[in-house]
Amino acid sequence: MPTNSTEKFAIEHIAIHGHQIGFRRGGQGPVLLLLHGIAGSSLTWVPAMRLLEGDYTMLAPDFLGHGTSEKPLGDYSLGNLATVMRDFLSLLGIDRATVVGQSFGGGVAMQFAYQFPERCERLVLVDAGGLGREVSWILRLATLPGAEYVMPVLFPEFVGNWGDAVVKFFGGRGFRHAEAVEMWRSYRSLTEGESRRAFVRTVRSVIDPGGQSVSAADRLYLSAHMPTLIVWGDHDRIIPLRHAHLAHEAIPNSRLEVMEGVGHYPHVEEPARFVRVRVGLGVVRWSPDESQILVKRAPEKKSGDIVAFSVPALTVPAPGRSIPVLEPTLNPVLHSLTFRNFAFSPDGKYLAVVAPGKRNLQLFPYTR
């Protein structure tokens, strides 16, 4: 049951293998599994969840060792955390989900897709770890021998009350306010002994003094048949933008969106822009043979990128059928085609609609 009824997406708990896992949920629709970064928590997703709740069922768990979840001695590897996420979905009665992972959560998301491809409907990587060697020196320091003995000095408990001062400190060094707040939340979590110990174990599972030690680069080709969206801030100081381009090149048919002026936390720094990356495709037109529906992504332009979506077998019961549109096949720029917010199939039996701000096509049977 929720532990705080005044919070929009209140923390709930579920027992997995004897350990309490905290999570937030809300909305209704296709399932999004939202995975946070290292030293973070599900709280990081709340700004985006407020904007998505009308279209999706959102699940944002706290990893073991993070947030409100238990912090046991044990396995904090990507493989184990991916397995816990699989069991989390199973306990909630969910077979498949779109997995969205930011930073370390992106590494878990890729591991989830690798281990359980039948459970992963789509993959969204947000400034993700596990795509190259480079990573911030701050995280590399945490892997040095004896770091766990120095950290209590660097993260004393009394600093936990210095919120405004620390946010101003980061802000004075070029970090945007929302990014500074997120960094402060991570720092503050490390003033707690249990969180500190879990953090060190987690960091050392994926990073060594030279950089990231776990990489998915040699297996990215396996994602060729999985719709993959890569989102990255061009001002990321934790993991360089170069990793996004390398992943985009390695994953056939993936889509890359670079958010200008944004750092390591696009979903926190610019939640409205982050959501727009994947919402609002534009206007539609049927192909002459009814095998595809074409969508123009920039409806205000006379010509522009056209994406095509295969139409399922047209046995659509009333009131209609939803067609996810995260699996585009890019087409060359087309001119002199008329696109509308709705379009009848050539035989006049079906109506295709893009509702404003929605992420799905709606396909309806039409009777004259």
Q: Which residues are catalytic?
A: 103, 236, 264
Query: In terms of C-beta distances under 8 Å and separation of at least 24 residues, what long-range contacts does 115-121 make, across chains too?
Result: 115/79, 115/82, 115/83, 115/86, 116/82, 116/86, 117/222, 117/226, 119/86, 119/89, 119/95, 120/96, 120/226, 121/30, 121/96, 121/97, 121/227, 121/324
Using alpha carbons, list the distances in angstroms from residue 80 to 17, 74, 89. Answer: 12, 10, 14
Using alpha carbons, list the distances in angstroms from residue 60 to 67, 136, 204. Answer: 11, 25, 24
Rg, the chain, Cα only:
22
DSSP three-state, residue 327: coil
Residue 356, number of CB atoms within 10 A of its CB: 7
72 neighbors 79 (Cβ within 8 angstroms): no
State both tokens at 257: 């969106």
State both tokens at 24: 């937030």
DSSP three-state, residue 198: helix
DSSP three-state, residue 145: coil
Query: In terms of C-beta distances under 8 Å and separation of at least 24 residues, what long-range contacts does 301-309 make, across chains too?
Result: 302/335, 303/333, 303/334, 303/335, 304/333, 305/330, 305/331, 305/333, 306/330, 306/331, 306/332, 306/333, 306/334, 306/337, 307/281, 307/331, 309/361
Q: Return the DSSP state at 95.
A: -
